[in-house]
């Protein structure tokens, strides 16, 4: 019997990288899984890989109406939801001087505002007990150049793990953060930098990792399985760093 047998799980940003690998691991552990994405090709690839084993839904993570529509779509199919993994994110890094209001607002909408209102929209669906996993980042703990807006958004998201756990604990909803360190995912190619600047930043990031390598999506997915499962039922309002020691060594 799988560790997530009988559970229904929603993974946002589940068409690539950590989200996609987490979907694979959740399915392998017996969960019914729904994933979201905004790319038609990415959603089509998920449907080809999983067939009827996964529900693939188009959703724009930073759009509030889209979050409400997502909750409605799930309620048409599932009576309850046991696990939410908020993984969709905007990873834009750039110097402070290069930010404008529109780009800042777009990043905050995707990384903080959208997740907040998705959790709100899903409140009637959450089972008792249930687990909400918020994908943070070790960047919230360090002073990595050019990560200012991104790190601030992840700090806010990780704060929700504490405040919402305090608010929702009577309903059996526990909220925790799962914070990757530098991880080999397609997101590393979407930092919004020129080629040379991106290459230099990636090398700087690698040098930050005490164990000398980047993490893998599988390592993060295995941690997500733990937080989604009943094995972590006494883990509430905290953060699990899976970062190669970046945040502590």
pTM of the model: 0.94
Residue-wise DSSP of 36-66: EES-HHHHHHHHHHHGGGEEEEE--TT-HHH
- Inter-CA distances, 209 with 95, 148, 205, 219, 249, Å: 22, 19, 7, 15, 9
- The token duo for 166 is 């305090």
Q: What is the CA radius of gyration of the chain?
A: 17
- Catalytic site residues? 150
- The pLDDT tens digits of the residues spanning 48-86 come to 999 989 999 999 999 999 999 999 999 999 999 999 999
Q: Which pLDDT score is estimated for 189?
A: 63
- The pLDDT tens digits of the residues spanning 28-46 come to 999 999 999 999 999 999 9
d(C-alpha 230, C-alpha 2), whole Å: 11
Domains contained in the chain, CATH given: 8-242 (3.40.50.720)
Does residue 248 register a pLDDT over 70?
yes
Q: Which pLDDT score is estimated for 193?
A: 62
Sequence-ordered alpha helix ranges (H) in 89-242: 101-108, 114-122, 148-168, 195-208, 217-228
């Amino acid at each position: 019997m799988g560790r997530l047998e009988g559970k229904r799980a929603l993974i946002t940003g589940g068409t690539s990288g950590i989200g996609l690998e987490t979907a694979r691991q959740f399915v392998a552990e017996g969960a019914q899984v729904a994933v979201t994405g905004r790319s038609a090709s990415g959603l089509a690839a998920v449907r080809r890989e999983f067939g009827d084993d996964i529900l693939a839904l188009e959703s724009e993570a930073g759009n509030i109406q889209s979050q409400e529509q997502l909750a409605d779509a799930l309620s048409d199919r599932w009576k309850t939801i046991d696990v939410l993994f908020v993984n969709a994110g905007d990873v834009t890094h750039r110097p402070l001087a290069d930010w404008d209001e529109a780009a800042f607002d777009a990043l905050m909408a995707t990384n903080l505002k959208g997740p907040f209102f998705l959790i709100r929209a899903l409140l009637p669906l959450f089972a008792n007990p249930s687990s909400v996993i918020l994908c943070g980042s070790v960047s919230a703990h360090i002073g990595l150049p050019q990560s200012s807006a991104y790190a601030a958004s992840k700090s806010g998201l990780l704060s929700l793990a504490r405040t919402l756990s305090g608010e929702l604990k009577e309903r059996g909803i526990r909220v925790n953060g799962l914070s990757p360190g530098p991880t080999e995912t397609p997101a590393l190619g979407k930092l919004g930098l020129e080629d040379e600047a991106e290459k230099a930043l990636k090398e700087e990031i690698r040098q930050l990792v005490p164990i000398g390598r980047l993490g893998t999506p599988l390592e993060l997915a295995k941690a997500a399985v733990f937080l989604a499962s009943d094995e972590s039922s006494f883990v509430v309002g905290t953060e699990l760093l899976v970062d190669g020691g970046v945040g502590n060594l």
